[in-house]
Structure 1
Amino acid sequence: MAVHHRLIGRAARLVWRVTKPRTIGVRAVLLEQHDLIALVRHTYTEAWSLPGGGVKKGESVEAALLQELKEEVAVVDPQIERVLGVYHSRREAKDDHIVNLPLARFQTLHVIFRRQDPMEVAEPRWFPLDQVPASTSAATARRIAEYRSGATELGAW
């Protein structure tokens, strides 16, 4: 895990405790046609999670998602299927809202990932949708289960 990302994260959490910012994030359920799901392991955590990130001021949810996918897994021009859910998180002293969007399945077997930003992404990988690793974050596991059940959700991240 990158030491500077840990330090930046700690500093950010201190600022957030004071400022309590409202933030918006996006995550993607990125699937390949043979039921493989894309997960990433960031340099600042050991858990696997859905690709995504924060929405910058003046940026749309769609534009943010497309930018994050390009940066994290080098996927460009995916088709968004629908909104899977909108969630709320009070972790890290933020008032965070996360929009989760499933993407149309890729028509190729095993799109090859390239880490565009190796300082942020330690590893991107495909996993069978029904065999995600035990080290997958709890929120990611819930989002995958919701996707598999066809549910559209509102609630806690």
Structure 2
Amino acid sequence: MTSPQDPFRQTGWAGLRARLFHLYFVLRRPMTLGVRGLIHDTATNSVFLIRHTYVPGWQLPGGGVEVGETMDEALARELAEEGNIALIAPPALKSMHFNRRSSRRDHVGFYLIEQFAQTVPKLPDHEIAEAGFFPLDRLPEATTPATLRRIAEVFQGEPISSYW
């Protein structure tokens, strides 16, 4: 008994040509995808912010989605790395944003997290200079504009921007 050939599998010159076109488009038009999490401690009405060693300002934890990783997996990894924070329930995807300040092809998934655990505070390391929870009415002066916009969208009902 012969099995039918996969109609999407191309061999020979056509397959090589398809792979080369795919490589061309990946190199010519690469997209990047990141995630950021707004960790909200409902008991203290505070949010978790970080300050990196390599860029100015206080911001939401997060980072890039790696190849083969879901956005939820990337968020969980970044929260653990940047804040010693573990998700104890699925995060809520609030919005997607085009991050034109980073590049012409960068997008960020923005999540709200209200069910989490942090067993020990995050100590400074090579990437994170400082990290901690801040009351919503006493955010650090150097909080980035994008972070302030996301907080205003969630807690003050501001319209959600398409841009990070």
Confirm or deny a common fold (TM above 0.5): yes
Question: Are the equivalent residues in 2 in contact too, given 1:51–1:69 (CA < 8 A)?
Answer: yes
Partner of 2:137, secondary structure, is coil
CA contact (8 A) 1:85 1:152 kept: no
Matches within 5 A, 1:1-157: 21-32=30-41, 33-106=43-116, 112-115=120-123, 118-150=125-157, 153-157=160-164
Q: Hey, what's the Cα distance between the residues in 1 that align with 2:56 and 2:159?
A: 28
Give the TM-score normalised by the residue count of structure 2: 0.74
Which has the greater radius of gyration?
A: 2
Q: Name segments (4+ residues, structure 1) moved above 6 Å.
A: none
Q: Give 5+ residue unaligned stretches, structure 1.
A: 1-17
Superimposed CA distance per residue, residues 71-118 of structure 1 (whole angstroms, 9 cap, x where no aligned partner): 0011113424422211001224341110110002458xx864224x71
- How does the TM-score come out when normalised to structure 1? 0.77
Shift of 1:136: 0.5
Unaligned residue ranges in structure 2 (runs of 5+): 1-26
Q: What secondary structure does 2:142 align onto? A: coil
- Distance in 2, Cα, partners of 1:152 & 1:85: 11
SS in structure 1 of the partner of residue 162 of structure 2: strand
* Shift in alpha-carbon separation, 1:144–1:43, aligned structure 2, 3 A: same
Q: How many residues align?
A: 137
Letter in 1 for 2:68: G
Cα 1:111–1:134 change in 2 (3 A) is: farther
Contact kept, 8 Å, 1:80 with 1:101, in 2: the verdict is no
Letter of the 1:26 partner, please give it.
V
Question: SS at 2:92's partner residue?
Answer: coil
